């Protein structure tokens, strides 16, 4: 059976083809609101069980409980509010207790929500709780401030899937990944979250973890990210490339994570662990500054936050790794735990510097990134 999903039951709010068609006909008559690409990805994550045990967008009681204590109102661990902002001019379309059609940015109806409540929030308070800052330069805070302070809560039902485009080949719902892990005989599976190309440091910690488990689930985020990040399509090609050349095929599985990036540091690390538990992972890699941005979080804050919860209530084992790098003296990959040599001997590049090099067609050194991956990235960054 493998690891239980968070909350004990894998949520499924997806309508079958026939049922979905019937709902779509009815939904044409419902009041409607247009939701963002980000909210649409949340609808899909809720409906397919990625965000189990959530069955819809949070109501006020769950929302406030998550802000104050990183738990749903019933005590289940949950660290990030999953909410649906509604524009003031559209709020009149929503009647509490009545269904409302959710239209994507393209105007198509994708889901129906049973609108249980409308409530107003203090966005500054949410920013301080979730992101630990009210600074509008923080991308997550900026997005929060730009959204409406009026939230709609209630269960959702997915009537049609969004077009997954170039990610379709690697798009799997938790029910599918669980079956795949089972069919491969994997009892211990380690999940890895990334919104960046896999470089040598990532490869090092993934393979270190792989020494102790049966399989690695490389689960890159392909939802909305900040514009400075390397486009998801380019990253996906880089993942395929490095897996083909440097990983044992029978020990690794690549599947995309459709959610938007929150950049919430420690709190998002908890969410990322719970999500991978829903996909069927027993372990989850937490590196330095996980889900961080700028210098808003301490280097190991995202690891320390796990000590606030009991292991059995998380239901997944976090694996903590030090910052790793190539050491010229050691002649290989190492970390501060294993390498005695000074920083001058370490090959470490910032993400900003790497992106600048790629745009200029300059190859980062092979000690930092595999040359096959660099070729993909230079070509992709130039074209994007």
Per-domain residue ranges of the chain: 17-158, 168-383
Instruction: Tell me what the mean pLDDT of segment 214-232 comes to.
Output: 92
- The CATH T-level fold of domain 168-383 is Rossmann fold (3.40.50)
Residue 1: the pLDDT is 60
Burial of 92 (0-12, 13-18, 19+ CB in 10 A): exposed
Question: How confident is residue 97, by pLDDT bands cut at 50, 70 and 90?
Answer: confident
What angle do the packed helices 232-246 and 371-383 form, to 10 degrees? 160
Are both 17-158 and 168-383 of the same fold?
Answer: no
Residue 10: the pLDDT is 98
Instruction: Tell me what the mean pLDDT of segment 128-132 comes to.
Output: 98
Of the listed ranges 98-102, 255-259, 288-292, 348-352, the least confidently predicted one is: 348-352
Whether the pLDDT of residue 351 is over 80: the answer is: no
Please identify every residue annotated as catalytic. 195-196
Residue 352: the pLDDT is 75
The torsion of the CA quartet 152, 153, 158, 159, rounded to 10 degrees, works out to: -50
Whether the pLDDT of residue 358 is over 90: the answer is: no
Residue 354: the pLDDT is 85
Q: First CA to last CA across the chain, in angstroms?
A: 43
Q: How does DSSP classify residue 282? A: S
**Cα–Cα distances in Å, from 335 out to 228, 309, 327, 331, 370?**
28, 27, 9, 12, 18
Whether the pLDDT of residue 27 is over 80: the answer is: yes
Instruction: Tell me what the mean pLDDT of segment 183-204 comes to.
Output: 94
Q: What CATH number is given for 17-158 in this structure? A: 3.10.400.10
């Amino acid at each position: 059976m493998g690891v239980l999903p968070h909350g004990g039951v894998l949520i499924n709010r997806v309508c079958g083809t026939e049922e979905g068609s019937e709902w779509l006909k009815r939904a044409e008559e419902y009041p409607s609101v247009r939701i963002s690409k980000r909210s649409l990805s949340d609808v899909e994550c809720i409906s397919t069980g990625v965000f189990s045990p959530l069955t819809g967008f949070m109501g006020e009681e769950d929302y406030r409980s998550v802000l104050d204590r990183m738990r749903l109102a019933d005590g289940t661990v949950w660290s990030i509010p999953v909410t649906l902002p509604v524009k003031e001019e559209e709020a009149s379309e929503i009647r509490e207790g009545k269904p409302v059609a959710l239209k994507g940015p393209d105007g198509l109806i994708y889901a129906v929500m049973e609108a249980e409540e409308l409530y107003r929030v203090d966005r500054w308070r949410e920013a301080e709780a979730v992101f630990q800052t009210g600074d509008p330069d923080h991308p997550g805070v900026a997005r929060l401030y730009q959204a409406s302070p009026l939230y709609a809560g209630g269960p959702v039902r997915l009537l049609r899937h969004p077009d997954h485009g170039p990610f379709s080949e690697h798009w799997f719902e938790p029910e599918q990944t669980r079956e795949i892990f089972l069919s491969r005989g994997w009892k211990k599976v380690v999940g890895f979250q990334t919104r960046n190309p896999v470089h040598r440091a990532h490869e090092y910690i993934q393979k270190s973890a792989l020494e102790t488990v049966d399989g690695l689930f490389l689960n890159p985020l392909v939802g909305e990210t900040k514009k400075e990040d390397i486009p998801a399509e380019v990253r996906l090609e880089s993942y395929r490339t490095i897996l083909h050349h440097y990983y044992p095929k029978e020990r690794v599985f690549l599947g995309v994570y459709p959610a938007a990036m929150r950049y919430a540091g420690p709190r998002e690390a908890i969410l990322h662990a719970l999500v991978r538990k829903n996909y069927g992972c027993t372990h989850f890699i937490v590196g330095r500054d996980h889900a961080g941005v700028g210098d808003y979080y301490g280097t190991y804050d995202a690891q320390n936050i796990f000590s606030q919860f009991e292991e059995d209530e998380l239901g997944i084992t976090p694996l903590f790794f030090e910052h790793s790098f190539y050491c010229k003296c050691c002649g290989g990959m190492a970390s501060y735990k294993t390498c005695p040599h000074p920083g001058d001997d370490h090959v470490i590049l910032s993400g900003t510097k790497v992106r600048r090099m790629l745009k200029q067609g300059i190859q980062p050194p092979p000690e930092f990134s595999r040359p096959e991956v660099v070729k993909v990235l230079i070509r992709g960054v130039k074209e994007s």
